[in-house]
Structure 1
Amino acid sequence: MQDNVLENELLSRLRKGDEQALSKLMDHYFVPLCSFCNVFIADMATSEELVADVFYTIWTKRMTLEIHTNFKSYIYTAVKNKALKKKKNLSSSRSVPLDTMTSDVVDPQNALTQLTLQEFNCDIKNLIQTLPEKRRVIFELNRFESLSYKEIATLLHISEKTVHNQISLAIKYLRPRISSLLNNIS
């Protein structure tokens, strides 16, 4: 949906009450927005609820909706704001949920390997969480959401140079710590 003309047409149809236009926008943006939202609050179920709320708000306010940028920037900013507001309301004592192992694993060596990988992934997630919030968000958007420096800069209203600097600092911080984690596994 790179074509702004198509998005503008869908928004025009949306304003007229066309539910299929909303459906097409949701088909394209819902999953990436949930992943993006999850960067901020680390709870996929809540992320899905928040993104659904944003689309619901767009639908209910479709007649008065004013978008001064492109739709992608608008909706990502709306989700980011909703996620940050939700994060403020969440208790700070939440734990990061572990990925569940498949129940049909029979091979003990395979189970041990999976458990080791899960623990390593959890350690990496926890390590990333120790980054300053702005740096963590920028790093996660780049590494986990595959957003370019330019897209991150636009989304967060900062310069590309700031994005570059924050990612460089994150890597400098994480690299030796991840190496240490890997040494502990061996």
Structure 2
Amino acid sequence: MARYCEYSDNELVDLLKSGDRLSFTEIYNRYWSLMYAQVYKMLRDEEETKDVIQEIFSNLWIKAGDIKSSHNLGGLLYAAARNKVLNILEKSRVRSDYAKSIAAFVTYTDPETLDKLDEKRLILIIEQEIQRLPPKMREIFELSRKDDLSHKEIAKRLNLSDQTVKKQVQNALKIIKPRINQMGLSMVILFIFR
């Protein structure tokens, strides 16, 4: 009796269509790493890639009866992966575009016309990022941005050099901005922090 690793893709598909679990296992073993490499190259996210691969193979098992034996199995799996990745990227782009449009609205609209709940939510997100800063950096940053003190005033109050204060504020912005940008709220930081 032939081992499954010796079967062609078409033979494995025929067995898969009849509900043969070992043929599914062989297809999985044969294509998992190749599919993973292709999807990861497009997404650059390990967990999301694993989720995509899991979904592709789950659908292969569930919809095995719909596969035509004449299909190129590798091509079929690659097409499924590409379509899934494109859907993910499109949803991500739509979310990002929506967040950017909200940020632009916040930036270019008179604050009094903003929906107060959205404004509070944005301020809360930024406040959470500020609270994650190291304690001394946070103190300096808050004195600069919330109390509107100059670097010289902060330096005098905290017995530091002007240069140290300036560097701490710059470092805080370097930490906060990328986090805000990741949330698609890049323009909001300009609105909140001038």
| TM-score, normalising length: structure 2 | 0.43
Q: Which has the higher helix share?
A: 2
